[in-house]
Amino acid sequence: MRRVAITGATGFIGRHLVTALAGGADLRLLLRRPDPALARSGATVLRGSLDSESALGELVADREVVVHLAGAIRAPDRRTFEAVNALATARLARAAARAGVRRFLLVSSLAARAPEVSAYAWSKARAEEELRAAAGGMEIAIVRPPAVYGPGDRATLEIFRGLARGRLIMPANREARFSLIFVEDLAALLAHLCEAPFPPGLLLEPDDGRPGGYSWRELATIAGAHTGRPVRLVLLPRAAGQVLASTSELIARIRGAAPLLPVDKLGEFYHSDWLCRPEGLETVAGWRPLVDFAEGIGRTLAWYRAAGWL
């Protein structure tokens, strides 16, 4: 049974990964706060953070594989993104290398391919660099998912709400094309990489297998076919998106909360090419995506309704 350490298990992807590995691996999870569901999963749960060298040492001791999922999607500034996404990756990779971990899987982001578009994208590219620098003799694989969706996801909830009610308003580049991946397919890939052989320095951009990905118009058409009514799509030009994001940041400052749409994220929303590149996937025998958006939207909306989120 493979001995696997996981960070970010309380997150959307992390929970699905724990489910995918449960029963087939000896899991050790690093959590910042108690989580009853994960405590019942059969995994060994450690309390601590990525800032703690002692917690990291305990996490990786006697582990064969580390899967690093923890990170920040939103942060108040570039320095925080760097600390949480890049420097924490370096700290964990060094601890894993010292402990003799054989394999390190970093779940990065497709945004790392365009570090100029946002502080988040830059920090994910930095995380990849930090891992390569600290890896030593470890086998490393970097996985750059595109937009991930599915049961339990709050990041894409507003998009699915708009698709379900037949009116989606988005700050977006109307010419953009993007890839998607259903969360269970991504979790299955990560679980597979814990066991399967792969070439040195593997870099993967997995998606749902749809050639050419999707446009916003195609997404709306698929959603309309599922719900039985057309989806009105309103794609805001960048100037309008700037106003919306600035307002979101102002409201967040007044409330003392993180903005729903940070100004810095606009670079990601208006980037034209978020299509995954298939290079590398042919070297990973034994995995293929099973769920495209035509099926995934139904499964996701059904879960949201059952959970009372719609």
Among candidates 48, 12, 16, which has minimal Cα distance to 29? 48
Q: What percent of the chain has pLDDT over 90?
A: 83
CATH superfamily for 2-151+179-209+275-290 is NAD(P)-binding Rossmann-like Domain (3.40.50.720)
Question: Does residue 258 have a pLDDT over 80?
Answer: no
Question: Does residue 260 have a pLDDT over 80?
Answer: no
According to DSSP, residue 19 is labeled H
Asked if 112 and 124 touch (Cβ cutoff 8 Å), the reply is: yes
| Separation of CA 148 from chain center | 6
Banded pLDDT at 178 (limits 50, 70, 90):
very high
Asked if 145 and 281 touch (Cβ cutoff 8 Å), the reply is: no
Question: Does residue 171 have a pLDDT over 80?
Answer: yes
Residue count of the chain, please give it: 310
Residue bearing tokens 């660099």: 129
CA 170 – CA 94 distance, rounded (Å): 41
Q: Which amino acid is at 130?
A: E
According to DSSP, residue 214 is labeled B
Domain assignments of the chain as residue spans, ordered by start = 2-151+179-209+275-290
Asked if 293 and 207 touch (Cβ cutoff 8 Å), the reply is: no
Residue bearing tokens 């917690």: 55
Kind plus residue range of the DSSP H or E element containing 304: helix 293-307
Question: Does residue 34 have a pLDDT over 90?
Answer: no
pTM of the model: 0.95
Pair of tokens at residue 265: 């994220």
CA 104 – CA 127 distance, rounded (Å): 13
Pair of tokens at residue 56: 């990291």
